[in-house]
Amino acid sequence: MAGNKIPESVLVVIHTTALEVLLLERADHPGFWQSVTGSKDTLEEALADTCRREVFEETGLDCSRFELTDWQWSQRYEIYAHWRHRYPSGVTHNTEHVFGLLLPGPIEARLSPREHLSQTWLPWHEAADRCFSWSNAEAIRQLPRRTAGAPPAAG
């Protein structure tokens, strides 16, 4: 049976001014680490609203208290076969829009146990290396270039 998930989503890189990144471990795939992600609920839902909803659902954080930035960058990728059943029949690709959420420092997230098992804050380069998704890793690698006063890239 095909699902009805919309193949347009957001990826929110939650980070600090020191470029520490929050990663969450998926409950349905232990060992798979990621940033906050989620699909639009309706075709009309604004991407920033999707970000606010997903960040709150997955971490308990209220985006209105922090700086949410649309990176004006998206990636299109093939949906992993084991997740395609969530989408309408024949849908094989998703477009993911990247946002950043700047926090003053690491904050303990309130995880949704249905979605995530654990959390960790890592320096951006370590966080990128830990992500199972190439698109998530690439977004995190963009962080130093998208943050004013960023330190030089790790070599």
* Domain CATH code at residue 118: 3.90.79.10
Give per-residue pLDDT as tens, 137-147: 999 999 999 98
Give per-residue pLDDT as tens, 96-128: 999 999 999 999 999 988 999 999 999 999 999
Residues 8-12 have a mean pLDDT of 98
The answer to whether residue 21 scores a pLDDT higher than 90 is yes
The answer to whether residue 149 scores a pLDDT higher than 70 is no
Shortest CA distance to 142 belongs to which of 127, 121, 120, 122? Answer: 127
Query: Is residue 48 included in any domain, yes or no?
Result: yes
Query: Is residue 154 included in any domain, yes or no?
Result: no
pLDDT at position 151 is: 47
Q: How far apart are CA 53 and CA 55, in angstroms?
A: 6
The answer to whether residue 55 scores a pLDDT higher than 80 is yes
The answer to whether residue 8 scores a pLDDT higher than 50 is yes
Query: Is residue 94 included in any domain, yes or no?
Result: yes
CB 66 within 8 A of CB 103: yes
Tally of domains within the chain: 1
Residue 15 sits in which domain range? Answer: 8-146
Query: Is residue 27 included in any domain, yes or no?
Result: yes
Buried b (16+ CB within 10 A) or exposed e, 49-65: ebbbbbbbebbebebee
